[in-house]
Amino acid sequence: MKELLQQLADTLEGDLFFDTTIRTLYATDASAYREMPLAVAIPRTTADIKKLIAFALEHKTSLIPRTAGTSLAGQVVGDGIVVDVSKHFTGILELNTEEKWVRVQPGVIRDELNMFLKPHGLYFGPETSTANRAMIGGMVGNNSCGSNSVVYRSTREHLLEVKALLSDGSEATFGAVDLDSFHAKCEGDTLEANIYRTVRSLLGNYETQAEIRREFPKPSIERRNTGYAVDLLIEMAPFTAGGPDFNFCSLIAGSEGTLAFITEIKLNVVPLPPKEVGLLCVHFNTIDESLRANLIALKYGPSASELIDHYILECTKDNIEQRKNRFFVQGDPGAILVVEFTRESREEIESIAKMVEAEMREEGLGYHFPLLFGPDTKKIWTLRKAGLGLLGNLPGDEKAVPVIEDTAVDVRDLPAYIRDFNEILQKHGLYSVHYAHAGSGELHLRPIINLKTEEGNRLFRVIAEEIATLVKKYQGSLSGEHGDGRLRGEFIRQMVGEKNYQLLKQVKNAWDPHHIFNPNKIVDTPPMNTMLRYTPGQQTPAFKTVFRFHNQDILQHAEQCNGSGDCRKTHLSGGTMCPSYMATRNEKDTTRARANILREFLTHSDKLNRFDHKEIYEVMDLCLSCKGCKSECPSNVDMAKLKAEFLQHYYDANGVPIRSRLIAGFSRSAKLGAIAPGMYNFMMTNPVISRMVKKTVGFAPERSMPTLSPTTLEKWFANYRRKNAAPGSGRKVYLFCDEFTNFNDAEIGSKAVMLLEKLGYEVVIPKHEESGRAWLSKGLLRDAQQIANKNIALLKDIITDESPLLGVEPSAILTFRDEYVDLASDDLLEAARRLAKRSFMVDEFLAKEMAEGKISKDLFTREKRSIQLHGHCQQKAMSSVAPSVTLLSFPENYNVTTIPSGCCGMAGSFGYEAEHYDLSMKIGELVLFPTVRRQPEEVIIAAPGTSCRHQIKDGTGKKALHPVEVLYEALVNK
């Protein structure tokens, strides 16, 4: 088969992978399933897909269409060839503003489609919680809905036409056809004609139609994705007189890639929603109260009514990013119902909200009714959408499992259904998380189960069986929007009855007689508790790590990644995670891929040192250790931490590369160079000598090398203090003289000192070691641990709340807040935690002092200046860019704009390394470089990070300043 696959690869314009690494990365999605595919194809053209279909037919394998791979029911897991169209099938092909439709390829991201449509006043309605990476092809496959489905319903209602390849490789276009055209379509000996004929024959029988109407979910349930949508086809002409024109798109939507391979999609689009949006965030003591109140809210025409339960709210307390979004929560509610109203004026929304509150209070429902507008609404939706990923944060092996998370019933049945649902769980000693789409009769319900145990595996199945029976009792849909896939396909026979199930099999056979398209999904599905990620009773060794993994081990931390794919968003959606994926668009370069490969080998390796695998090294290689995932991943997967730990153990088996040792020991070489900085700088800037040095070390010849300051900050400070006595009355602050500021950016350090003293603070540089950042970045954790312990011991007794530790370089000072707590020896752990709370970037400290009125604006110029700010990655992850904005905008007429860039692409030594240089510059070109180049000369470019400033200089030729430099220059009296 390998020879055959290689022959196929040679004929494709795109790529075909059949190595273990790439197959492993595509063996899972966002579900509980894992199955190794035969190969992974990344087609570039429709011709490639035709060749794949021909190969599958000839060699009796299958094709599994895939876009972002965030399916929750195992739809894109299988043993055939996974066909990933997310990289090349990303074109928006045509827009008709008069008729209000758009034609796209399946790899177009939903939010990016709306970015394209917005200038035209148009909008594609259905919005999944994954909308910043979910692709239209996947939304069609799952018939996705989202929080606003009470207005926009599902993808199916917006699907006008589909261009697809059928299972014999022929092309077909499916759209609305009138009665004469329908019968004409049935003529001929093509596969397309046979599909029309078969469906006409199957559904033309009155008894069949009656059986479908009797057994399928209630038509009043908008979210119904159980099986194939033959219940919708029978309402069309020719099966129902006076019905709408027949359109196979209703069947294709929700078919999970099992009927045809979609290449183009034509969608209905609608006018933009009203500009004014208000969220009424009603607090309740219990979930039952919230569901009864939901029926009241729906009477007032909301655009969404979403539930967030107590468990989700608890999870948000420990998430760096989501803690900021809890500002509206009062007390400890059992549930919050977020009711969205979109109207033309804020006054209209306020009037509606008062009526809703009055009626709910009259029924004794709800105790707090905050109404929020503007930027606050985005924060609340971010909190709600983070729910799925946050559930992966549970320490240990018990997880909120996607098993019965997608059931939908008539919204009027929802309170009673949830009461019955919870009784079933309580009988088994389980509790479920409740969240999401109350307004549409669907809550995402996830029981906490340990799938690594035999008992957990048994419960996984038992709960599925019993809830399926309950859903049938209410004539609901087992899948509301997440699809059937591997998880629910087994129960479709029960949900629609034996006759209808056999009908669905005939539909599948008509479209795909050889079952080459995503087989064993929807029909002929194997038992739902087979091919799981976790094997019941699996044993893994205790992992002895250098980092402290609180309340879990390193494997469990990697397992927090549930595959939700937040790391697959592009630069257009903003944020930092994941810079290498943003540049390459390869699954291999996602945070998810790195977690998957680590989990795979730590679980299944037969080596004594389970980290000793080149496959892990290759997938980890393009991780920039930017820390974006630590805050942006809803599961808080800290890939920088995982990578550093992996590298230490990999080096234990394979030795430390010379370049890694040189980079890690940067401060030692810089200390030697500082003896004669002029000579050092000559060597680093002379074209001939510099090229030789870079070639020897393995740095990119195109990259400029950092130079040393004429004197170190330590020497400057000692001389400065001899000439200038410390202020006697000001608040004392300790400045951490990090190795980068000390050797490379001493001028910035000196300006930080002088700025602080001009503002009335006494600055002391205490005795301490380097930060250890370079050692951490190269995975030499034991060395970094020694440095961390020394610094904690030296500083623990002098750093207090009154006299904090400040730093100029974000990556250095933030080690105290981040890695030191994970590295400190047990006897220094509490001291490390105290230091973490008392360590700040200069920006943070001064911004807080400014907010408290301790610094006067009169000290600064009133000249007008414009500033463009690029935030440092670790600053964004562990703190915020907001303090730097506050700092820079403190002078009265300074106007600050934050560049919507993620990582600059340098990331310490990453951008210097020859094999990473091109990617480093490509990341810079996504947002940062073009934005900087567009700025007029008089605009100040600011960047707190030394690597960022170097990258900006190399990429644009412009000099960026540290915020303290900008503020120092703004002083009236220096």
For 213-232, the pLDDT digits (tens) are 999 999 999 889 999 999 99
C-alpha closest to that of 818 among 798, 801, 832: 832
Residue 513 has pLDDT above 90, yes or no: yes
The pLDDT, as a whole number, for residue 858 is 96
Q: Residue 725's pLDDT band (boundaries 50, 70, 90)?
A: confident
Q: What is the pLDDT of residues 419-431, one digit of tens each?
A: 999 999 999 998 8
892 CB-near residues (< 8 Å, 6+ apart): 857, 860, 862
Per-residue pLDDT, averaged over 356-366, amounts to 97
CB 645 within 8 A of CB 602: no
Question: Where is 171: in which H helix or E strand?
Answer: strand 171-174
Per-residue pLDDT, averaged over 908-922, amounts to 97
Q: Residue 626's pLDDT band (boundaries 50, 70, 90)?
A: very high
Q: What is the pTM of this model?
A: 0.94
Alpha helices in 492-590 (DSSP H): 492-496, 498-511, 554-559, 579-584
Tell me which DSSP letter residue 841 carries: E
271-298: b (≥16 Cβ within 10 Å) or e? eebeebbbbbbbbbbebbbbbbbbbbbb
* Cα–Cα distance for residue pair 157/165, rounded to 1 Å: 22
Amino acid at 427: K
* Cα–Cα distance for residue pair 605/627, rounded to 1 Å: 27
Residue 382 has pLDDT above 90, yes or no: no
607 CB-near residues (< 8 Å, 6+ apart): 613
Note every long-range contact of 813-817, with CB atoms under 8 Å and residues 24 or more positions apart, other chains counting: 813/736, 813/738, 813/771, 813/839, 813/840, 813/841, 814/839, 814/841, 814/874, 814/875, 814/878, 814/879, 815/771, 815/772, 815/773, 815/776, 815/788, 816/736, 816/791, 817/878, 817/879
The pLDDT, as a whole number, for residue 388 is 57
The pLDDT, as a whole number, for residue 211 is 98
Per-residue pLDDT, averaged over 883-891, amounts to 97
The pLDDT, as a whole number, for residue 389 is 60
Bridge partners of 895, per DSSP, are 866
Q: What is the pLDDT of residues 565-606, one digit of tens each?
A: 999 999 999 999 999 999 999 999 999 999 999 999 999 999
Is the bond into 238 cis (omega within 30 degrees of 0)? yes
* Cα–Cα distance for residue pair 854/376, rounded to 1 Å: 28
CB 303 within 8 A of CB 340: yes
Q: Residue 399's pLDDT band (boundaries 50, 70, 90)?
A: confident
Bridge partners of 159, per DSSP, are 267
How far are the Cα atoms of 138, 149, 191, 303 from residue 126, in angstroms, in the given order? 12, 6, 32, 12
The pLDDT, as a whole number, for residue 431 is 81
Burial category of 733 from C-beta neighbours within 10 Å (exposed 0-12, middle 13-18, buried 19 and up)? buried
The pLDDT, as a whole number, for residue 445 is 85
Per-residue pLDDT, averaged over 428-444, amounts to 87
How much of the chain, in percent, has pLDDT values that exceed 70? 99
The pLDDT, as a whole number, for residue 197 is 98
Residue 40 has pLDDT above 90, yes or no: yes
Residue 619 has pLDDT above 90, yes or no: yes
CA of residue 381 relative to chain centroid, distance: 15
* Cα–Cα distance for residue pair 879/873, rounded to 1 Å: 10
The pLDDT, as a whole number, for residue 822 is 98
CB 763 within 8 A of CB 793: no
Residue 892 has pLDDT above 70, yes or no: yes
Q: Determine how many CB atoms are found less than 10 A away from the CB of residue 688.
A: 8
The pLDDT, as a whole number, for residue 392 is 60
* Cα–Cα distance for residue pair 965/535, rounded to 1 Å: 57
Per-residue pLDDT, averaged over 805-826, amounts to 98
Q: Residue 383's pLDDT band (boundaries 50, 70, 90)?
A: confident
Residue 30 has pLDDT above 60, yes or no: yes
* β-pair type (246-247, 444-449): unpaired
CB 372 within 8 A of CB 278: yes
Amino acid at 349: I
The residue assigned the tokens 């069986």 is 465
The pLDDT, as a whole number, for residue 245 is 97
Which structure tokens are listed for 580?
Answer: 């290498």
CB 73 within 8 A of CB 484: yes
The pLDDT, as a whole number, for residue 391 is 64
Which has more confidence, 870 or 309?
Answer: 870
Residue 276 has pLDDT above 70, yes or no: yes
Which structure tokens are listed for 917?
Answer: 């240089």
**Mean pLDDT (the chain, rounded):** 95
* Cα–Cα distance for residue pair 348/930, rounded to 1 Å: 42
Q: Residue 479's pLDDT band (boundaries 50, 70, 90)?
A: very high
Number of H helices and E strands in the chain, helices first, is 47, 27
Residue 279's SS3 state is strand
* Strand ranges across the sheet with 276-284: 371-373, 276-284, 335-343, 304-309, 432-436, 444-449, 399-400
Which structure tokens are listed for 206?
Answer: 């009155």
Per-residue pLDDT, averaged over 200-225, amounts to 95
